[in-house]
C-alpha cells in the first residue's frame, strides 16, 4: 500500500482512504466505497476521498451519485460552499 501523508486530514481517515484506493485498484468498487464513506465521516473536508468515491460510483454506473461526489469535492477544494 502506497502511503502519502495529507496535512490536516486525520491519520485514521487517510488509512481508510488508502484501503479504499487499494480495493478500487483491485476492481472491488463496492468495498472501496465503504472505506471512502468511513474516511469522509472522520474527515468531511477530505476532497480527494469524495473525488475517488465519484470515480467508484461512475464505474458502477451510478452517475447521479458520482456527480454529487464530484461536486462536493470541487466545492471543498475551491473553498466555496455548495449551493
Which range of residues forms the domain containing residue 28? 11-78
Q: What is the pTM of this model?
A: 0.86
- Per-residue pLDDT reduced to its tens digit, 7-26: 688 999 999 999 999 999 99
Contact predicate 36/26, CB 8 Å: no
Question: Greater confidence, 8 or 29?
Answer: 29
| 38 domain-assigned | yes
- We report the CATH number of the domain holding residue 72 as 1.25.40.10
Contact predicate 33/56, CB 8 Å: yes
Amino acid at each position: 500500500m502506497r502511503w502519502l501523508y495529507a496535512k490536516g486530514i486525520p491519520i485514521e481517515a487517510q488509512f481508510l482512504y488508502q484501503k479504499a484506493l487499494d480495493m478500487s485498484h483491485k476492481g472491488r468498487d463496492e468495498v472501496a466505497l465503504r472505506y471512502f464513506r468511513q474516511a469522509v465521516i472522520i474527515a468531511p473536508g477530505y476532497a480527494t476521498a469524495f473525488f475517488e468515491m465519484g470515480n467508484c460510483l461512475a464505474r458502477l454506473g451510478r452517475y447521479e451519485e458520482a456527480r454529487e461526489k464530484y461536486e462536493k469535492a470541487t466545492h471543498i477544494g475551491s473553498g466555496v460552499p455548495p449551493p
